Structure 1
Amino acid sequence: MPLTWTDSIDHIDWHELAALYLVAPLARKEPDDLRKAFANSMFRRFAFENGKLVAAGRVLADGVDVAYLCDVALLPSHQGQGLGKQIVGELLDLARGHKKIFLYSVPGKEGFYAGLGFRRMSTAMAIFEDQDAATARGYLARDDAS
């Protein structure tokens, strides 16, 4: 089935996008928060099949130095068919020219991103709203490297 692509947020159903993130599974994200996050992102891509949202992703970027690929999500029925590579590829093409492109992946998906050219960083650090939950889900190392 052919996909329809857009970067426009004008006609996005934010509740449908929130449902996509929940089943992908990435996380529970509120529709209003998604609207704000995508509106504040320099680049974004949405894929539709027969009018249904099947994939989304975005890039926060400053236009010169740093870009951050984030929130790439696909319906489970569309995973493993090359759509993830396609949406990440399109977002990377949009972010080309930045000196660095960062991401952090869902634990267990690092190999997918390594296959697209990303390499593990030895110095990346983060502060999460809920540090304990992020540690339990595998986003943060249990040992403190400070």
Structure 2
Amino acid sequence: MTDGYQLVVATPSADDYRRLRVAAGLSPKSAEAAAAGLPNTLFAVQIRKEGEVVGMGRVVGDGGLFYQVVDIAVEPAHQGQGLGKAIVERIVDHLRQTAPVGAYVSLIADGEAWRLYAQYGFKPTAPASIGMAFSIS
């Protein structure tokens, strides 16, 4: 990882979480949703520079059978420096060390992000299965 950056194992604050999602082009989340959801994080990392959170990633799930990697986000001004790789690598290392044999780890890759995740062993599930989602509106 580039000098001046620090990877910290910690869940982001609701404010940092919401700011980073929008900055990285992910869908915005309400303060209420962030406050309710973030405490249920199983594992999270932040990338900090000069005390400011500029990247993040989280794992959610049931802690035994199913895990989902979510919220991989890096501020655009800090992209292209290997920060996304550092986030995913630390998350995958943690899961390999702590999740039981047979645990299923999934994610939804937006756009070309699948190329990053493939470097860490993630494979498309299609055509055997297709990721599906809906949002409460």
Q: Does structure 1 conserve the Cα–Cα contact (< 8 Å) formed by 2:69 and 2:106?
A: yes
- Distance in 2 (CA, whole Å) between partners of 1:4 and 1:32 is 28
SS in 2 for 1:25: coil
Larger Rg: 1
Match of 1:72, SS state, is strand
The alignment's TM-score, normalised by the length of structure 1, stands at: 0.77
Summarize deviations over 1:10-69 as a string: whole Å, max 9, x none. Answer: xx5422321211110111122332232221111111121111111111001323222110
2:132 match? 126
TM-score normalized by the length of structure 2 = 0.81
Is residue 47 of structure 2 the alignment partner of residue 47 of structure 1? yes
SS at structure 1 position matched to 2:111: coil
Maintained 8 Å contact 1:61/1:95? no
Distance 1:56 1:35, change over 3 A: farther
Once the two structures are TM-superposed, the CA of residue 80 in structure 1 deviates from its matched residue by 1.5
Matched residue type, 1:3: Y
Which residue of 2 is the match for residue 106 of structure 1?
Answer: 110
Identity across the alignment (%): 27
Equivalent residue letter for 1:112: L
Which one scores higher on RCO, CA 8 angstroms, separation ≥ 6? 2
Q: 1:13 to 1:127 in 2, by over 3 A?
A: closer
Distance 2:110 2:66 in 1: 21
Q: Which amino acid aligns with 2:105?
A: I
